[in-house]
Chains A and B, each alone.
Chain A
Amino acid sequence: MTQRFRLLWLTLALLLVLLAIEFGASFLPLGRSARPLVLIPAVLMVGVVGTSFMEVGRGPEIIRLFAVAALLWLSFLLGLGSLDALTRIEYPVQAANPR
């Protein structure tokens, strides 16, 4: 078995382990607001697929530029798009007194 095939098998095993961690973490008693933390293994899995199956580290420099640009613009999109929702302070509204 060559180095390349060994790496592919290791990648598959790593992805399945991360998937199992993610699956198990979904049953932890996290608060409702903290539950998106379950996405962390998924983000790691995306990184593993990108580096191993898609071989982002191989080939011309410009493909890494495209990959970084995609992540940068995605972070702008998600960061700026959710900024208001995640930072707005909700003050309790006092019910109007009926006259």
Chain B
Amino acid sequence: MSEASQTHEFQYSNAHHQAETAISGMWLFLATEVLFFGALFLTWIYSRHWNQAGFDAGAQQTELAIGTINTVILVVSSFAYSAGVAFIETGNGRRLIQCCAAAWLLGVAFLILKFGIEWRDDFAKHLFPGTGFALHGPLSGGAQIFFVFYFLGTALHGLHMIGGLALVGWIILRASRGEFSPAFYTPVVVVGLYWSFVDMVWIVLYPMIYLVGRGP
């Protein structure tokens, strides 16, 4: 946790109090986000239960390689950012910038793979639910419900990624101005919590989309 900065806003008793409030506030926000994504996960449980064969038929149309590579990318990105936090704790601002830049670039790579390649292929294969859907027959209904979940889930996660990239970029900008030190780096910690949470959401979405419906 960050040490106290030299200054604090008037409503806090000291700088340490201000830092703890910021970090606690982010945790509270993330608790609400858990419920936000929890509703999405519930739709998966409920819809798959009643349409298992159709759901699995839909899941088998997804790009397993891209999904798996993206999972590795996000895990490494979260690791890189956490290493940046550890570096600024030791006063190494240059390493913080490098780690955040690595995390940011990996995040961009995720979005390019997800929306630039995978979504484009999905649309080309007519996997968007509605008239002209690629799968026909009795499994078509369940498969279309799967792809509603797929497009909605990945879009919501993608929006969170874009927000996270903006925040990580903001940290890089501030770090390049030399605003962080072992005495003050609370914003680095707060943004790191959000970035790791976005990683967490994908860790859960990945098996729901790509893995559960596969297999012999």
C-alpha gap A30/B203 in the complex (Å): 21
Contact with A along B98-132 (1 / 0, CB 8 A): 00000000000000000000000000000000000
Which residues of the partner chain A approach B206 to less than 8 Å between Cβ atoms?
42
C-alpha gap A88/B61 in the complex (Å): 30
Is B158's beta carbon under 8 Å from chain A?
A: no
Within the complex, the shortest CB–CB distance from A2 to chain B, in Å, comes to 7
Is B214's beta carbon under 8 Å from chain A?
A: yes
Is A60's beta carbon under 8 Å from chain B?
A: yes
B24 close to A53 (CB less than 8 A)? no
B42 close to A82 (CB less than 8 A)? yes
Which residue from chain A places its CB closest to the CB of B33 in the assembled complex?
A70
Within the complex, the shortest CB–CB distance from A55 to chain B, in Å, comes to 8
Q: A23-B68, A42-B204, A82-B45 are in contact. Are A32 and B31 (CB under 8 A)?
A: no
State which residues 175-216 of B face A: CB under 8 Å: 192-193, 196-197, 199-200, 203-204, 206-208, 210-216
C-alpha gap A45/B201 in the complex (Å): 11
Which residues of the partner chain A approach B31 to less than 8 Å between Cβ atoms?
66-67, 69-70, 73
Which residue from chain A places its CB closest to the CB of B204 in the assembled complex?
A42
B204 close to A46 (CB less than 8 A)? yes
B216 close to A27 (CB less than 8 A)? yes
Chain A residues proximal to chain B, CB less than 8 Å: 2, 4-5, 8, 11-12, 15-16, 19, 22-23, 25-30, 32-33, 35-36, 38-39, 41-43, 45-46, 49-50, 52-55, 58-60, 62-63, 66-67, 69-71, 73-74, 77-78, 81-82, 85-86
**Most B C-beta atoms less than 10 A away, residue of A26, A30, A53, A59:** A53
Which residue from chain B places its CB closest to the CB of A50 in the assembled complex?
B200
How extensive is the interface on chain B, given as a class? 35 or more
B42 close to A77 (CB less than 8 A)? yes
Interface of A, helix, strand, loop or mixed by DSSP: helix
A12 close to B30 (CB less than 8 A)? no
Which residues of the partner chain B approach A28 to less than 8 Å between Cβ atoms?
215
Is B72's beta carbon under 8 Å from chain A?
A: yes
Taking a contact as CB atoms closer than 8 A, the residue among B23, B34, B46, B212 that contacts A39 in the complex is B212
B200 close to A39 (CB less than 8 A)? no
A8 close to B204 (CB less than 8 A)? no
C-alpha gap A59/B2 in the complex (Å): 9
Q: A39-B204, A62-B24 are in contact. Are A23 and B211 (CB under 8 A)?
A: yes
Which residues of the partner chain A approach B79 to less than 8 Å between Cβ atoms?
8, 11-12, 15, 53
B89 close to A4 (CB less than 8 A)? yes
Q: A19-B72, A19-B75, A32-B52 are in contact. List 17 more A-B contacts (CB 8 A).
A: A8-B79, A16-B75, A23-B211, A26-B207, A32-B56, A38-B207, A46-B204, A53-B79, A60-B20, A67-B31, A70-B31, A70-B34, A73-B38, A78-B38, A81-B45, A82-B49, A85-B46
C-alpha gap A49/B20 in the complex (Å): 20
B39 close to A63 (CB less than 8 A)? no
